[in-house]
C-alpha cells in the first residue's frame, strides 16, 4: 500500500522542556481532516509539525512523501498553512510582494504573471500595490489565503483562521476553501465545524485521546459539555 498523503508516526515534540505532543500518529488520505482539542492541547503544535515549521524530537513526518521540516522547498508545494492571526504570517508591506515571496521560494516560473492571476481570480487586481497594513483583518486573511493558493499545495492546514472574522467574511473564505482541490486539515475546538469530516483526531494534553470519524466529534462535544457544566477550573492551570 502506498504511503498516505499525511503520514505522522509516533511524533513527539517538546517546547521549552515541556512535552507538547507525545506519541501522536496520524496516517490519512482523507480530504477533510479535523483536529479537535481544548486550549493548550497541542493543536497548533501539530499544525506546525504538519506544515514543517516545527521539528520533531522523535517520530517521523511525511507529507506527500516529503520530510517537510528538512526539505523546506518541497514543503512549500506540499503544504500551506493559515494562522488565526494574519499578522503573524505577513512579511512584506505590499500585497504583490507578499504573494510573490512564496512563489519565488518555491522556484516557480513567471512569478509576476502568477501573482496577477491569483489577484484576478479573486477580483482584487487593484490590490497589487496596496499597503497591507491598511487592510482589515478579513482582507489580510484573504491575502494569506491567496498566497497559499498561489502555491497550489496538496494540503492546507487551517489553524482557526476565521475565528476573528465577521460571519459573511468567514463564510465567504470558507466557501472558497471548500471549493478548492486540496486536502484540508482544520484545527478547532468546535466539534460542530468538523462534524461531517471523514477523519478526526482529538488531542488532550498533547496525546491522542481518540481518533476516527463522526463518533469522535460526538464524544468530544459530550465531554466538553460535561466539563463546562462543572465549576472546577483546575483544568485551566498550566
Ligand atoms: N512557543 C512556545 N514555547 C513553549 N511552549 C509553548 C509554545 N507554544 C505553545 N507552547 C505550549 O505548548 C502547549 C500546547 O500549545 P498549543 O498552542 O499547541 O495548543 P493549542 O491546542 O493550539 O491551544 P490553543 O487552542 O489555546 O491555541 C501548551 O502547554 C503551550 O503552553
| Torsion over CA: 73, 92, 147, 203 (sign) | positive
The residue with cell 522542556 is: 17
How far away, in angstroms, is 125 Cα from ligand 1 center? 37
pLDDT tens string, the chain, 238 residues long: the values are 678 999 999 999 999 889 999 999 999 999 999 999 999 999 999 999 999 999 999 999 999 999 999 998 899 999 999 998 999 889 999 999 999 999 999 888 899 999 999 999 888 999 999 999 999 988 999 999 999 999 999 999 999 888 878 888 888 888 888 888 899 999 999 999 899 899 999 999 999 999 999 999 999 999 999 888 887 766 665 5
How would you class 9 by CB atoms within 10 Å of its CB: exposed for 0-12, middle for 13-18, buried for 19 or more?
A: middle
Residues 6+ apart with CB under 8 A from 175: none
Closest ligand 1 atom, residue 16 Cα: 4
Around Cβ 91, how many Cβ atoms within 10 Å?
A: 10
Task: Give the C-alpha separation, 99 to 223, whole Å.
Answer: 42
Nearest residue (by CA) to ligand 1, atom 5, is: 15
Give the nearest ligand 1 atom to 238 CA.
Answer: 29
Q: Specify the pLDDT at position 230.
A: 81
Residue 173 has a pLDDT of: 85
Where in the chain does DSSP place strands (E)?
6-15, 18-28, 32-37, 58-63, 79-82, 155-159, 183-188, 199-204, 207-212
By three-state DSSP, how is residue 118 classified?
helix
- 25's grid cell: 500518529
Q: Answer whether 183 contacts ligand 1 (Cβ < 6 A).
A: no
What pLDDT does residue 82 have?
94
Amino acid at each position: 500500500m502506498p504511503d498516505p498523503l499525511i503520514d505522522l508516526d509516533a511524533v513527539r515534540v517538546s517546547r521549552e522542556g515541556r512535552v507538547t505532543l507525545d506519541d501522536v500518529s496520524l496516517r490519512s488520505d482523507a480530504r477533510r481532516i479535523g483536529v479537535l482539542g481544548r486550549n493548550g492541547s497541542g493543536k497548533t503544535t501539530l499544525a506546525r509539525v504538519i506544515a514543517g515549521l516545527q521539528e520533531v524530537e522523535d517520530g517521523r513526518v511525511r507529507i506527500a512523501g516529503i520530510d517537510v521540516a528538512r526539505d523546506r522547498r518541497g514543503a512549500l508545494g506540499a503544504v500551506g498553512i493559515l494562522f488565526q492571526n494574519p499578522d503573524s504570517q505577513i512579511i512584506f508591506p505590499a500585497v504583490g510582494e507578499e504573494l510573490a515571496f512564496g512563489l519565488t521560494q518555491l522556484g516557480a516560473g513567471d512569478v509576476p504573471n502568477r501573482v496577477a492571476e491569483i489577484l484576478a481570480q479573486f477580483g482584487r487586481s487593484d490590490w497589487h500595490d496596496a499597503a497591507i497594513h491598511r487592510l482589515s483583518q478579513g482582507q489580510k486573511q484573504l491575502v494569506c489565503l491567496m498566497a497559499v493558493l498561489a502555491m497550489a499545495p496538496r494540503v492546507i492546514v487551517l489553524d482557526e483562521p476565521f475565528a476573528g472574522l465577521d460571519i459573511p467574511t468567514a463564510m465567504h473564505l470558507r466557501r472558497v476553501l471548500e471549493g478548492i482541490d486540496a486536502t484540508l486539515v482544520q484545527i478547532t475546538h468546535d466539534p460542530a465545524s468538523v462534524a461531517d469530516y471523514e477523519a478526526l483526531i482529538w488531542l488532550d494534553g498533547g496525546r491522542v485521546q481518540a481518533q476516527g470519524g463522526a463518533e469522535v466529534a460526538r464524544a468530544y462535544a459530550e465531554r466538553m459539555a460535561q466539563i463546562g457544566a462543572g465549576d472546577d477550573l483546575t483544568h485551566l492551570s498550566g
